[in-house]
Amino acid sequence: MNDMTPTRAEREARLEGMGCKRKRVEDVRFTQGKGNYVDDIKLPGMLHGDFVRSQFGHARIKKIDASKALALPGVLAVITAEELKPLGLHWMPTLAGDVQAVLADGKVCFQNQEIAFVVAENRYITDDALQLIEVEYEELPVIVDPFKSMAPDAPVLRPDLDGKTTGAHGARKHHNHIFEWSVGDKAATDEAFAQAEITVNHLISYHRTHPSPLETCQAIASFDKVKGELTVYGTFQAPHVIRTVASLLSKIPEHKIHVVSPDIGGGFGNKVGAYSGYICAIVASIVTGRPVKWVEDRMENLSTTSFARDYHMTAELAATRDGRVTGLRVHVLADHGAFDACADPSKWPAGFFNIVTGSYDFPVAHLSVDGVYTNKAPGGVAYRCSFRVTEAAYCIERSMDILAQKLGMDPADLRMKNFIRREQFPYQSALGWEYDSGDYHLALQKAMDTVGYRQLRAEQAAKREAFKRGETRDLMGIGVSFFTEIVGAGPSKNCDILGVAMFDSAEIRIHPTGSIIARMGSKSQGQGHETTWAQIIATELGIPADDIMIEEGNTDTAPYGLGTYGSRSTPVAGAAIAMAARKIKNKAQMIAAHLLEVSEYDLEWDIDGFRVKGNPERAKTMKEIAWAAYNAPPPGLEPGLEAVNYYDPPNMTYPFGAYICVMDIDVDTGVAKIRRFYALDDCGTRINPMIIEGQVHGGLTEAFAIAMGQEIKYDEIGNVMGASFMDFFLPTAVETPHWETDFTVTPSPHHPIGAKGVGESPNVGGVPAFSNAVNDAFGFLGSTHIQMPHDAWRLWEAARRLGV
Amino acid sequence: MSETQTLPITVTVNGSKVQRFVEPRTLLVHFLREDLGLTGTHIGCDTSHCGACTVEIDGESIKSCTTFAVQANGSSITTVEGLANADGTLHALQEGFRQMHGLQCGFCTPGMLMRAKVLLTENPDPSEEEIRFGIAGNLCRCTGYQNIVKAIQFAAARLNGRTFQEAAE
Amino acid sequence: MIPGPFTYHRPASIEEAVGLLVSLGEESRPLAGGQSLIPMMKLRMATPEHLVDLGGVAGLKGIDVEPGGIRIGAAVTQAQVIGSALIADRLPILRDAALQIADPQVRTRGTIGGNVANGDPGNDMPAVMQCLGASYVLAGPSGERSVAARDFYLGPYFTLLEPGELLVAVRIPLPSAGHGQAYEKLKRKIGDYATAAAAVILSATAGRIATASIALTNVAPTPLLAEEAARLVVGTSLDAATLKAASAAAKAIADPAADGRGTAEYRREMAGVMVARALVKAFGRVKGA
């Protein structure tokens, strides 16, 4: 060795592989305005389409008069359900096994429902034409409260389902009922409650909100009549699924459909589903023979595509007097809006809500969920969470606090007492999951030690006395939340979307000069896949991340995948990447053995190549191997160095974390001020700590917004209220608290690199931390549970109810 | 309305003089994106709350979705495409956003950068609080702002000839 | 969201602008910063056929001292108000209020004239102007007239401004040195209108309030001058009972609507809280009392 030979540490650093805070490659284009989002794409001859939408929450459509619009110069078409009928496209299947009107078929079921699609030369003329379309309505009685949905005399919201006593998920009990889903041992659970020394029972509502990425949903469809080919650019979190669904619906062969997701300006679950805008853009392109662009505006986004939550959870805990939980019983009333367009794996009508046993070792549990229709927008997407996991975490974490209060126990102590212990993993939960790994006691203890939990409690006790003496008008609240996520859908044996199994994929090609192009079935919307996927490959294959190009979103070139949502990319696509890399590595080892004239078994991997065991001077770098793979492969071995892997995970992964929030609430105005927020996340192996921290910051900010005021609200006649950024609470930098992040590392035993996924954890754990802090602040005044959102006026009302 | 009115406007965009005819109702953001092909400036909310459309006009930051192109007649506009230094190197803010992980999906980033640029001319050495207040017209859904604040501090330090020292957590 | 079509006019003088507004009639609207009007047009809630852009009109700019007060041109932006040393020194309440309007970019274009003239009860400056006893200079076909801010507002988007008239300036009497001023605004987030807000200016001698003026934002169809509340604090040293009484008097005249910011009852209560807090802050700022 001479002085120029890099040390092992230098060689490793050069790779910028897993564990390093690699700067993002995406940023180079994004910071120069060179991102390529859907609305940036301009095709020759492109038209612009937009919707006429319903004024009413529930009404029969008596007449649509488009004559004035059609007479406006520049207007090419006005499409209504009548035009879609001959194509069989006036209704579309939803991901949840229901159907949804693409354009209103005789009646509207929610305000702003799509009625007609206007296509014109540009968006200005389209907007003018929208004003000229006259729709005559006959108003119908409206249901906005899910608790009134199944009243005997409730109006029939879905006449298309009239008389159907079974739906996609079994029996329907009422004309506005969608499904009942139950899991767990009911008899044993009822018995636990019958025997319980102490029980609590509360209705815990998680209000309706919306993911609201900064870029709305958009698409451009371009149909080439001569070739019979359809190209669709769109804000698709799952482009391959869109291709398959488009083929099934349009009968265009799948190989003649090219779906491309370019850069996506945030998704958070909003861009998983299939929307009327996509279908109408496609139909309009077929009809006009020209490309058609559809771009939602913000009001349309907030009021039509994909709400989240609207879960009303009645949760009961049975426990011993000393705080050992003996049973959990939960019933959920789920408001799905006018169509069940929930974006869950198809067999899971309530998603993975049965993670509601949380981080605790409950001997028995039972859960039942009733889904109902109301006159609200359809959706039910996983807004920055795995399917219905935020709702579940909120439910159990509020319930544990309610129980702690009744027991007179510290909420952290109650959690410690009931945690699944480290040695119990893999752990079978009472509601059917096998948790992969965890060390909950360690995580919560670290969180408590870091924030000085006991001192905070002492300070709070003193402040409460001062409040009682009238010396302060502030209430101090400490919110503890401990969550376990379930992410990485997958396993195909129990997860599919409309029959498409939920695996994911990666294809890696090493070029002769040792650089790489790799493509995945996942699709980044800001998560930084181009950066982190390269880091996995760099570590696995010893090629510097900078020499690796990651490409996603083009269904012509990427292997089939199910896309990015539910924190599934790292658990599934991330695993596929590692597995594909290992296939390459196996072949590389054969080539290296040939080049070094030794047996494969005499070689060992060393950072960026293979070396002969006991003789490290004799080595071949991956770069040298790549050249040989193409130009001098061993006899009998096919040339080239590439691999594809389709990864069907054996299990989900179970990230977890401990969050602590400290807030002060001014009872005179109801304004809550976050004093401190500490988030400890355990997402297993950490691929890029910088990106993990960024994901946690973002998820906590969304959790803060949701807990403290972000809401999609309807008035009693079905008008959607405040669907703009004036009213819909997206905090600015001023309102957003400072975040402290921390971690422990408990790798997933079944994942090739031990990673679990993190993007959604902070939303899952964050919301209960804020809400528990609010409730903790008021608890000593006799309050048990205050419903979210905790905006100022509601907290002021809570204070007043409590007589302060 | 009878005949659609079109008006000539002359603006300097990223240093180049541009003359076009526009309909008076043409929003500046559409003029930049559609007529000039400068798609770095984005549209996020339509109601002047999100700031994704922020550009610099005559040294001030404005929301181009709430400005008519005709109102910009005669002015000098800088968009994110014109942010880099004259020698082609990245502006300190562009560097700061990358170094401090001040962006994720990238959709708010151009508006955030253009607002930050003017903020740093108004206040070359802002405190964290001043930065947060100064970028409050720009919404970000991904980052939680904490790293954007650091990115702007990084740029302020560099523009002031210092090295940014990250505050210890 | 695209504005409807309109014809654009760009006058160079006040006379020309007024002439256009008169001749074009009710379907014309003046365009100042456009930060309220353009969003309304994009929502097609405003569909003027003619816009008269004031951007090129001479005589609408400038913050000038004049005998007894200062004159702020209608086209002066909120950002210019914030940046004015004169205002920071003599009318800090204007700066405080301007800083709480919208966000930096909107303040760069949004004007004082637009904020006080369009009659939106959510706007902050009208109550501040009422508090300060300001008057508005209105130019019309038959010349200029002056209207007190306290008389100007009749209802939401309904003011004493006649068709064809243009608000060209705001005149504010300068309070003598030593006055305490404060604007307290409760809002959900940056960019929001007030849940409730209160403007206070007062003077004191020997620890007791000598004069006081109080006005309220966004708790009624118009800004409100809280005369009774002001009367109650004069002569006191702002003890707890006085604060409570002043709050109660302010709440008594508030008539807010329920909206996303809260119930009517909450917003009325917040009017009282903001008055109390603004009073305390203003009293604390009195110099040489």
Residue A52's H or E segment, with its range, is strand A47-53
Q: What is the mean pLDDT of residues A574-593?
A: 98
Print burial letters for B115-128: b (CB count within 10 Å at least 16), e (below 16): bbbbbbeeeeebee
Q: Which residues of C touch B137 (CB under 8 A)?
A: 102-106, 190-191
Contact B47 A23 (CB under 8 A): no
pLDDT band per the 50, 70, 90 thresholds, residue C287: confident
Active site residues of A: 237, 384-385, 760
Per-residue pLDDT for B168 more than 60?
Answer: no
Kindly report the nearest CA distance between residue A558 and chain C, in angstroms.
35
Between chain B and chain C, the number of residue pairs with CB atoms below 8 A apart is 90
Contact B107 A214 (CB under 8 A): yes
Per-residue pLDDT for A648 more than 50?
Answer: yes
pLDDT at position A494 is 86
Q: Which residues of B touch C104 (CB under 8 A)?
A: 61, 115, 119, 134-137
Q: How far apart are CA C198 and CA C226, in angstroms?
A: 9
Contact B144 A215 (CB under 8 A): no
pLDDT band per the 50, 70, 90 thresholds, residue A2: low
- A766 lies within 8 A of chain B by CB: no
In this complex, the residue of B38, B108, B145 whose CB is nearest that of residue A736 is: B145
Per-residue model confidence as pLDDT tens digits over A211-237 = 999 999 999 999 999 999 999 999 999
Which domains are assigned to chain C?
Answer: 7-53 (3.30.43.10), 62-173 (3.30.465.10), 182-285 (3.30.390.50)
Q: How far is CA C49 from CA A124, A571, C4, in A?
A: 16, 57, 8
Q: Which residues of C touch B134 (CB under 8 A)?
A: 104
In this complex, the residue of A34, A268, A298 whose CB is nearest that of residue B45 is: A298
> How does DSSP assign C72-121, residue by residue?
EETT-BHHHHHH-HHHHHH-HHHHHHHHTSS-HHHHHH-BHHHHHHS--T
Kindly report the nearest CA distance between residue C168 and chain B, in angstroms.
19
Between chain A and chain B, the number of residue pairs with CB atoms below 8 A apart is 178
Instruction: Check for a shared fold between B7-82 and B92-168.
Output: no
Per-residue model confidence as pLDDT tens digits over C47-93 = 999 999 999 998 999 999 999 899 999 999 999 999 999 999 999 99
Q: How far apart are CA A581 and CA C161, in angstroms?
A: 74
Q: What backbone torsions phi and psi does residue A98 show, to the nearest 5 degrees?
A: -95, 180
Is the CA virtual torsion B119, B125, B128, B129 positive or negative?
Answer: negative
In this complex, the residue of A127, A727, A735 whose CB is nearest that of residue C2 is: A127
In this complex, the residue of B1, B23, B66 whose CB is nearest that of residue C35 is: B66
Per-window interface: C 75-114 vs B, CB < 8 A: 79, 102-106, 108-109
Q: Quick one: closest CA in B to C49, which residue?
A: B1
Instruction: Identify whether A747 is preceded by a cis peptide bond (ω within 30 of 0).
Output: no
Q: Which two tokens stand for residue A361?
A: 């070792």
- C38 lies within 8 A of chain B by CB: yes
Kindly report the nearest CA distance between residue B104 and chain C, in angstroms.
23
Contacts of A668 (CB under 8 A, 6+ apart): A473, A796, C273
Contact A796 C191 (CB under 8 A): no
List all chains that touch chain A, counting a touch as 3 or more CB pairs closer than 8 Å.
Answer: B, C
Q: What backbone torsions phi and psi does residue B56 show, to the nearest 5 degrees?
A: -100, 130
Per-residue model confidence as pLDDT tens digits over A21-68 = 999 999 999 999 999 999 999 999 999 999 999 999 999 999 999 999
Q: Which residues of C touch B23 (CB under 8 A)?
A: 5
Per-residue pLDDT for A204 more than 60?
Answer: yes
Contact B62 C191 (CB under 8 A): no
Kindly report the nearest CA distance between residue C106 and chain B, in angstroms.
7
Which domains are assigned to chain A?
Answer: 8-35+504-647 (3.30.365.10), 38-140+216-264+271-303 (3.90.1170.50), 307-489+652-801 (3.30.365.10)
| Percent of chain A whose predicted confidence (pLDDT) is above 90 | 96
Question: Exposure of C83 by Cβ count < 10 A (0-12 exposed, 13-18 middle, 19+ buried)?
Answer: middle
Q: What residue spans define the domains of chain B?
A: 7-82, 92-168
Per-residue pLDDT for A607 more than 70?
Answer: yes
- Chain A residues in contact with chain C using a Cβ-Cβ cutoff of 8 Å: 123-124, 126-128, 131, 297-299, 668-671, 709, 713, 721-722, 725-727, 729-732, 734-735, 791-793, 796-797
Per-residue pLDDT for C249 more than 70?
Answer: yes
Contact A299 B109 (CB under 8 A): no
Q: Which residues of C touch A126 (CB under 8 A)?
A: 2
Residue A459, classed as helix, strand or coil, is helix
Q: Quick one: closest CA in B to A25, which residue?
A: B98
Of the candidates B64, B65, B46, B47, the one whose C-alpha atom is nearest the C-alpha of residue B55 is B64
Contact A40 B103 (CB under 8 A): no
Contact C260 A131 (CB under 8 A): no
Print burial letters for C64-73: b (CB count within 10 Å at least 16), e (below 16): eeeeebbbbb
CATH number 1.20.120.1760 given to B7-82: no
Q: How far apart are CA A681 and CA A673, in angstroms?
A: 23
pLDDT at position B1 is 44
In this complex, the residue of C44, C103, C261 whose CB is nearest that of residue A793 is: C261
| Percent of chain C whose predicted confidence (pLDDT) is above 90 | 97
Cβ distance C62 to C81 under 8 Å? no
Contact C190 B47 (CB under 8 A): no
Q: Quick one: closest CA in B to C4, which residue?
A: B25
Per-residue pLDDT for A1 more than 50?
Answer: no
pLDDT at position A497 is 87
pLDDT at position C289 is 52
Q: How far apart are CA A221 and CA B90, in angstroms?
A: 36
In this complex, the residue of A123, A263, A266 whose CB is nearest that of residue B142 is: A266
Q: Quick one: closest CA in C to B57, which residue?
A: C108
Contact B5 C106 (CB under 8 A): no
pLDDT band per the 50, 70, 90 thresholds, residue B2: very low
Q: Which residues of B touch C191 (CB under 8 A)?
A: 49, 136-137
Q: Which of A120-129, A190-199, A663-672, C173-182 has the lowest mean pLDDT?
A: C173-182
Kindly report the nearest CA distance between residue C53 and chain B, in angstroms.
8
pLDDT at position B35 is 97
Per-residue model confidence as pLDDT tens digits over C255-284 = 999 999 999 999 999 999 999 999 999 999
pLDDT at position A285 is 98
pLDDT at position A346 is 86
The CATH code belonging to domain B92-168 is 1.10.150.120
pLDDT at position C133 is 98
Mean pLDDT of chain C: 97
Percent of chain B as helix, strand, coil, to the nearest 5: 35, 15, 50
Q: Which residues of A touch B93 (CB under 8 A)?
A: 31
Kindly report the nearest CA distance between residue A672 and chain B, in angstroms.
18
In this complex, the residue of A265, A526, A738 whose CB is nearest that of residue B146 is: A738
Q: What is the mean pLDDT of residues B43-54?
A: 96
Contacts of A149 (CB under 8 A, 6+ apart): A143, A157, A174, A176, A177, A335, A372, A373, A374
Per-residue pLDDT for A524 more than 90?
Answer: yes
pTM metric for this prediction:
0.98
Per-residue model confidence as pLDDT tens digits over C75-87 = 999 999 999 999 9
Q: How far is CA A534 from CA A529, A530, A543, A688, in A?
A: 8, 6, 9, 11
Q: Which residues of C touch B72 (CB under 8 A)?
A: none
pLDDT at position C177 is 85
Per-residue model confidence as pLDDT tens digits over B107-148 = 999 999 999 999 999 999 999 999 999 999 999 999 999 999
List all chains that touch chain B, counting a touch as 3 or more CB pairs closer than 8 Å.
Answer: A, C
In this complex, the residue of B4, B51, B67 whose CB is nearest that of residue C34 is: B67
Per-residue model confidence as pLDDT tens digits over A753-791 = 999 999 999 999 999 999 999 999 999 999 999 999 999
- Chain B residues in contact with chain C using a Cβ-Cβ cutoff of 8 Å: 1, 4-5, 7, 23-25, 27, 46-49, 51, 54, 60-63, 66-68, 70-71, 115, 119, 133-138
Per-residue pLDDT for A304 more than 70?
Answer: yes
Residue C138's H or E segment, with its range, is strand C135-140
- C29 lies within 8 A of chain A by CB: no
Q: What is the mean pLDDT of residues A716-733?
A: 96
Contact A669 C189 (CB under 8 A): no
pLDDT at position B143 is 98
Q: Which residues of B touch C41 (CB under 8 A)?
A: 25
